Amino acid sequence: MNCIIIDDEVTARAIISQLCDGISSLTALEEFPNAIQAIKYLNQNEADLIFLDIHMPDFTGFDFIETLSNPPKIILTTSDPNFAIQAFEYDCIVDYLVKPITRERFQKAIQKAEATSTNGIAKSINRESVELASGNDLYVNIDRRLIKIDIPSIYLVEAKGDYILIKTEEKNYTVHSTLKNIEKKLPDTIFLKVHRSYIINVSKIIDIEDNSVLIKKDVIPVSRSNRSELMKRLNLL
């Protein structure tokens, strides 16, 4: 894919360019310090993918998108996680990377961009439903809306086929994702996968009996292989 980089920070452009060099399928054509120069370039040239900063002088990243009649795939790159909900209003945005960007997270974004055509972007976004974790907040994508969940309020996550059920103190959420995906987002200091279908908040355990734990009104099985790790986490008298 041919891509361009739009960011008013020199260092940020250099980092993204370096990350692009590590992906054989990516070719960084040009870099721009502002949206105006990028618009002039795109009037004469084409790009398959744009790495776009949100906060820039004169034109914001969203202002820039509004000027494009047929935008290519766009990966937002920003230090501000607060615009994630607004970002998902645009079908052309395939991912939202919060700086500092790790190589692993960058590669995942590129895989997502490569896996979808421009017409299939919305479907791709909906499939990756657990994406952003910032501080104590987890964002889940439900019906193309990003819902913020307070991580400590989660007491149970259950796998249900192609979906997961996230149970919190206030309400439950059914999300199109995998247990493996959300496990990466949850802090392992308080969460533990006790069974191939369940992740629990260890601090919410009420009772333990044989190979099961009681959390709220849910009795959760604990696999033999995970029981020893669970016992290590408990503050035993």
What is the average pLDDT across 177-186? 88
- pLDDT for 120-154, tens place per residue? 443 344 444 554 445 678 888 776 677 888 999 99
Q: Cβ neighbours of residue 58 under 8 Å, at least 6 residues apart?
A: 34, 35, 36
What is the average pLDDT across 25-32? 95
Is 2-128 CATH 3.40.50.2300? yes
- Please report, for the chain, the start and end positions of each structural domain, with discontinuous segments joined by +: 2-128, 151-233
Residue 69 predicted with pLDDT over 90:
no
3-class secondary-structure state, position 4: strand
The reported pLDDT for the residue numbered 8 is: 95
Query: Which of residues 106 and 91 earns the better pLDDT score?
Result: 106
Look at the domain 151-233 and name its fold: OB fold (Dihydrolipoamide Acetyltransferase, E2P) (2.40.50)
What is the average pLDDT across 221-228? 90
Give one DSSP letter per residue of 22-89, joined into a string: T-TT-EEEEEESSHHHHHHHHTT---SEEEEES--SSS-HHHHHHH-SS--EEEEEES-GGGHHHHTT
Residue 58: band (very low, low, confident or very high) from pLDDT cuts 50, 70, 90: confident
- Reply yes or no: is the peptide bond before residue 152 cis, omega within 30 of 0: no
pTM: 0.54
Residue 188 predicted with pLDDT over 70:
yes
